[in-house]
Chains A and B, each alone.
Chain A
Amino acid sequence: MSRRLPKEQYEHTLSYRVKEWLKGTKDPFLGNVEMKPQKEFQEDRKTIVRRDREKKRLFEQIYDIKHNPEIRIFRRAYNIFSVLFCLFLVTMLLLAVSDLPKFGNASNPVNNEVAARYIENGLQETGAVNIVTGMILDYRAFDTLGESHVLFVATCTVLILLRLDGDKKGRSGVGYVMENDRIYEPKNDMILQTVARIVVPPIFIFGIYIILCGHLGPGGGFSGGAVIGAGLILYLNAFGFAKTERFFTQKTYRRTSFCALACYALCKSYSFYTGANHLESGIPLGTPGAILSSGLILILNICVGIVVAGTMYTFYVMFRKGDY
């Protein structure tokens, strides 16, 4: 038995709207989505001519070949020498490759006692099921410590180059407004917002899963952090800065990445110190295969994940003329 609704009420239900949409009598997005007809790019003859002329003049000045034979000779010599150098390099490399041990052979010099110990004792010594993770975060942890700081330094240089600092009175200078693309916000892109609302939580959860299971299977801090960063970028694109800034500003980035890197450095210096002085580290390795196992590796993966997620997001924000 079904209940009959009055007509006004029925017109507000979902099924009615879907039916309307299927029939094509009403478009639910019409009027709700920001739609601007795109203007076709048009240029009148005058500007085209002027632009071409300016470009030509500029090129004549730069490559002033008629009046300045030195430039021509230099350019030609540079090109010839570069090509010759590259050909020489490739020939040398091919020569070297032709003399290398055979590819995919188990008795190559690469497969020596070092790799054997990583495979045979890796599980017992580091507690990580994923041997690569065990290797980069425990056996050769100093490299990885440097590597996460490479990311940090790169973010700092990008901040130096692209951060808009505004003037002291606040963010009101003409240049600031011109260069900042927040003026196009808030966005009301319904498709993007709906999809983002559905997709972003699973992306975050997936990223967290990759980070937490980095020592159990393929994954780890770098890949998981990149996934979370991608989720953040999608969220930013859908909802704009006003919403993301409620939980993630530049200050947040700096503090979280400082905390993560400091935690990383402290954990690792503890284990370096105890290792070099032949002390017991006293960190339990747990049962291999469980989430809470493999000593410091889980903590380090989380730290790296935080740094990488923040870094990816910062790169994106800085590249789209933004500021946070």
Chain B
Amino acid sequence: MNVSNLLTNYEEAIAMILFGIGFSNLLLQKNLIKKIIGLNIMDTAMYLFLALKGYIAGRKAPIVTNGVQSVEAYINPIPSGLVLTGIVVSVSVTALMLSLTIRLYRRYHTLDLDEISVRLKKEGL
């Protein structure tokens, strides 16, 4: 493990730690809403990581100003576009998860997935 490089890349390291936090929330939380929050943390960490990939020190956002079109003037536009796509995907997925949660809550009046499983077994469906 190259520690000095890890310290130089500390932004990316933070993104990875955030990813781990989100992932463990998704795995360990019992409450569905907290799981969804974990999912969003995970997605955000990924976008942070992607956005960092495109950054170049001292350059501007990729919108052509004053007709300058040299590579030295702007940061890499590809990661920004990918982040945009990723955000839309995560919005849709979050909406879907929330509506599933609403349905389950209306039916079972709880947000605990294990509790719901037990009730289902009692229903014997």
Contacts and interface: CB of A to CB of B under 8 A. Distances in A.
A119 B100 contact: no
B37 interface: no
Interface in A135-169: 135-136, 140, 143-144, 147-148, 150-151, 153-155, 157-158, 161-162
Interface of B: 1-3, 5-6, 8-9, 11-13, 16-17, 19-20, 23-24, 27-28, 52-57, 61-64, 69-74, 76-81, 84-85, 87-89, 91-93, 95-96, 98-100, 102-103, 106, 114-115, 118
5 contacts: A93-B20, A104-B57, A115-B78, A118-B78, A179-B106
A83 interface: yes
A136 B9 contact: no
A90 B78 contact: no
Contact of B99 (A58, A104, A123, A161): A161
A131 B118 contact: no
Contacts of B63: 129-132, 217-218
A98 B2 contact: yes
Contacts, number: 168
Contacts of B5: 98-100, 102
A148 to B, nearest CB: 8
B65 to A, nearest CB: 8
Given A61-B118, A103-B55, A106-B56, A222 B88 contact: yes
B69 A120 contact: yes
A89 B27 CA distance: 13
Contacts of B71: 111, 115-116, 119-120
Nearest to B5: A98
Contacts of B80: 132
A306 to B, nearest CB: 15
Nearest to A146: B85
A157 B99 contact: yes
Contacts of A61: 118
A123 B81 contact: no
Contacts of B20: 86-87, 89-90, 93
A222 B123 CA distance: 44
Given A94-B6, A97-B9, A114 B78 contact: yes
Contact of A315 (B1, B52, B79, B95): B95
Nearest to B56: A106
B98 A97 contact: no
A95 interface: yes
Interface in A42-61: 58, 61
A119 B77 contact: yes
